[in-house]
Structure 1
């Protein structure tokens, strides 16, 4: 099963650090992605927007809420999907991830959905 590195950020940090620091952080993350590619480990990656929408279907109705959500204590800012089944390999790369300096890098195994 591939391993995913989820980047869990404090809300508002992208705005607080400003454009110049944000661009520098982004460049470091791209360099990290290049390292993963060079090792043949990168299956996918994406940065996620702070603009969100939540949906719930209950009792025959649908509710939709537009974000961002002020009560959120954290947000998923992006992910790297790694082509390794070894959690220790994923952890070693998580320790090298620049986002670990300003966010939490959560390591999760992924797997197929069976119906």
Structure 2
């Protein structure tokens, strides 16, 4: 089953680190990614640009309303994600707890919706 591990962290944290701390952080993520790959669990992963580069779109009275910036303003922003394929939630939680982002933010673990979960929502 696929799970999305969403990494939330303070965007200014990286900029406040020393060069040595940034190198250590990058090495930790590289090692984590290699572990997921070797386990055959990695489907995809990406780091996201800062939330000030986001654009939010919603429909208001059937017309698109486009706003610069993220939908919400909070201390922690979505910084990146890993899409993994593992047998169950326990395995996904185990991988989430190993993610370097868990040490300086939080990891939201969410199952990916598939048509087999609810036939009422299939096209």
Structure 1 length as normaliser, TM-score?
0.84
Which residue of structure 1 lines up, in the alignment, with residue 45 of structure 2?
45
Is the CA contact 1:11–1:72 (under 8 Å) kept in the aligned structure 2? Answer: no
Query: Is 1:10–2:13 an aligned residue pair?
Result: no
Which residue of structure 2 lines up, in the alignment, with residue 35 of structure 1?
35
**Kindly tell me: are residues 43 and 68 of structure 1, through their superposed partners in 2, closer, same or farther at Cα, counting changes over 3 Å?**
same
Instruction: Please tell me the root mean square deviation across aligned C-alpha atoms, in Å.
Output: 2.1
Alpha-carbon shift at residue 2 of structure 1 (Å) = 0.5
Which residue of structure 1 lines up, in the alignment, with residue 119 of structure 2?
none
**Kindly tell me: are residues 5 and 64 of structure 1, through their superposed partners in 2, closer, same or farther at Cα, counting changes over 3 Å?**
same
SS at match of 1:49: coil
Which residue of structure 1 lines up, in the alignment, with residue 106 of structure 2?
104
SS at match of 2:17: helix
Unaligned runs of 5+ in 2: 116-121
Alpha-carbon shift at residue 61 of structure 1 (Å) = 3.0
Comparing 68-77 with 5-14, which one deviates more in the overlay? 68-77
Residue in structure 2 matching 1:55, options 57, 60, 66? 57
Alpha-carbon shift at residue 52 of structure 1 (Å) = 0.9
Q: Moved runs in structure 1, 4+ residues, more than 4 A? A: none
Structure 2 length as normaliser, TM-score?
0.80
